[in-house]
Chains A and B, each alone.
Chain A
């Protein structure tokens, strides 16, 4: 770790060092029940428009799970059902064992505190600075001292490379930066599940790669489960453990599994077209 300039005497660095326990492995033991999200027989859509029918899948604790598909394929609609924003037309969704579809208001709030959500546009509050945006959930849900809240919020912003923009208003930043700040805010309370809607769209390749690395690190080190809605195949192959591929015409899941294996081994032309970016794509 490096030192803050001018904040210490010259002989004794103040930044400090970190020594780990020797010989121990960087792994957190998996809990008994390995499934953290279970989607059962869900019909996704709104009002009387059914986009997806009878969707079934599970997300395991600590994995990076991708929801893929073409535009208008129901990815974001499905995610809205999973986070309790809109109820599905049919079926059940269990978050850590609790059904978010049948939950009453108090229970829904309790379930929703277990996860963080980053929306497609970042959804930052325009009247607050970036730091205030990230501080907000910490102020509402923790009793940490003010200085500690400030530090945690700044660390989250450092994690997404925005430590030099804490005092900026969202409107003063680019779309990609707003998105990164949205991720920092979603991570503020260190939730066990993070839902990210198109996290890497609008980011430059270096920032997108850095974000993928952060996702992997959080997943491996802190057992955070990621559910990511995306189109970005680069991120899919680098960051994701498992994916489902949604198809509008089939109104359902047409592939599920390791994205690299799906790309290399699938016989389904629709899946192959999607993963190999073939022009005559059938997936819609």
Chain B
């Protein structure tokens, strides 16, 4: 336990007598009282009598420093402190601890913040354009000199991007097909048109939902993984090591990932299309539409153009997701939180880009009458 006694002497001094153990467990009740006692008599000389202090650790020393650093007109001194603890106290300079030596920078005015934000967006666009150029050059180089590609890495990444993603793609696509079938079959049944659910599922899965859902899953899974992996390499200075060894990080890290994504995404899209239609077919069984009838209807409704319209997108989506994941990874700053930021930015900007590009495809197909 610790205690404080306040005594005003005849010669005009105020004495704060501290006794007992001064540590983090005993000080909470004492701290404010000691400060108040010192502040109540700002003109009197203040003596902090430590004769009764049995133990004093860093928190105890902080109380002494706090009393010594307070601005007051009267003189202040610590008396009778055991030399052990006096030596501890002498390590700290109250003058240094009066002011915050590293204060937070003042907030910029709103208009300045807006300017900085706009500049940040402009810089990001410029970086992306630069990155697209570098990546394109690296891919051209890879086509011209296939031996320069680290194929061992490509197959490893193919497994991560493709085979490992099969269960989640299967689950989402199957459920998507089922939900689509249920949601559309009920109103269509009123008109006796439930057979056309097959047309709807076939067209929407092949042209739109198969490629888009697969790409979104890829952005959440592989895009984030690319950003985190390359980001960690950046934090650990592995990317710097590549650069100083004369190896281009884009050629060494980005090219294998983009090749793997371009090889795997179309296959995943095919798989997603198929499983989505199976999900729809299973649901339509409960509406008395046999699987054979369902498949025949799809066959009559869907053309090769519809299939290719979706399939072509998968290549573009693959480049976007892998590219943005790698770019965010390479942009990682220092620290563990920066890796998390990079992964988050990879997913967010990946999904935004996917939706925007998908919209552009829709407009282009409309104009081309595809």
- Tell me, in angstroms, the Cα distance from A156 to B65 when the chains sit together: 12
Given contacts A151-B66, A217-B87, contact A167 B58 (CB under 8 A): no
Contact with B along A176-192 (1 / 0, CB 8 A): 00000000000111100
The answer to whether A158 and B68 have CB atoms under 8 Å apart is no
Q: For chain B residues 65-114, which have a beta carbon within 8 Å of chain A?
A: 65-104
Q: For chain A residues 155-175, which have a beta carbon within 8 Å of chain B?
A: 155-156, 158-159, 163-172
The answer to whether A25 and B83 have CB atoms under 8 Å apart is yes
Given contacts A2-B95, A222-B88, contact A164 B23 (CB under 8 A): no
- Tell me, in angstroms, the Cα distance from A197 to B137 when the chains sit together: 46
The number of residue pairs between A and B whose CB atoms lie closer than 8 Å in the complex comes to 171
A4 at the interface (CB under 8 A from B): yes
A138 at the interface (CB under 8 A from B): yes
Q: Specify which chain A residues have a CB less than 8 angstroms from the CB of B25 in the assembled complex.
A: 142
Q: Specify which chain B residues have a CB less than 8 angstroms from the CB of A7 in the assembled complex.
A: 71, 98
Given contacts A155-B58, A165-B102, A166-B102, contact A12 B66 (CB under 8 A): no
A127 at the interface (CB under 8 A from B): yes
Given contacts A127-B337, A152-B58, A171-B338, contact A145 B32 (CB under 8 A): yes
The answer to whether B102 and A168 have CB atoms under 8 Å apart is yes
Contact with B along A20-47 (1 / 0, CB 8 A): 1100111110000000000000000000
Selected from A4, A126, A127, the residue in CB contact (under 8 A) with B98 is A4
A279 at the interface (CB under 8 A from B): no
- Tell me, in angstroms, the Cα distance from A154 to B82 when the chains sit together: 24
Given contacts A155-B62, A190-B59, contact A164 B101 (CB under 8 A): yes
The answer to whether B28 and A12 have CB atoms under 8 Å apart is no
Q: Specify which chain A residues have a CB less than 8 angstroms from the CB of B61 in the assembled complex.
A: 155
Question: Measured between C-beta atoms, what is the minimum distance from A44 to chain B in Å?
Answer: 27
B5 at the interface (CB under 8 A from A): no
The answer to whether A151 and B65 have CB atoms under 8 Å apart is yes
Q: Specify which chain A residues have a CB less than 8 angstroms from the CB of B62 in the assembled complex.
A: 148, 151-152, 155
Q: Specify which chain A residues have a CB less than 8 angstroms from the CB of B90 in the assembled complex.
A: 1, 18
Question: Which of these binds chain A: B140-148, B156-164, B280-288, B328-336?
Answer: B328-336
Given contacts A14-B72, A15-B68, A190-B23, contact A21 B31 (CB under 8 A): no
B27 at the interface (CB under 8 A from A): yes
Selected from B31, B77, B91, the residue in CB contact (under 8 A) with A19 is B77
The answer to whether B58 and A4 have CB atoms under 8 Å apart is no
A284 at the interface (CB under 8 A from B): no
Q: Specify which chain A residues have a CB less than 8 angstroms from the CB of B74 in the assembled complex.
A: 12
The answer to whether B338 and A126 have CB atoms under 8 Å apart is yes
Query: 18 more A-B contacts (CB under 8 A) besides A14-B72, A25-B83?
Result: A1-B90, A8-B73, A15-B94, A16-B78, A18-B78, A21-B80, A24-B83, A27-B84, A126-B338, A127-B335, A144-B31, A147-B66, A152-B59, A155-B65, A156-B58, A159-B92, A164-B102, A221-B84
**A residues touching B (Cβ–Cβ < 8 Å)?**
1-5, 7-9, 12-21, 24-28, 126-127, 138, 141-145, 147-148, 151-152, 154-156, 158-159, 163-172, 187-190, 214, 217, 221-222
5 tightest CB-CB pairs across the interface, nearest first?
A171-B334, A126-B335, A171-B335, A4-B98, A16-B76
21 contacts across the A-B interface (CB closer than 8 A)? A2-B93, A3-B95, A4-B71, A8-B73, A12-B75, A15-B68, A16-B76, A18-B90, A21-B81, A21-B83, A24-B83, A26-B83, A26-B84, A144-B59, A148-B27, A148-B59, A163-B101, A170-B335, A171-B334, A190-B24, A214-B91
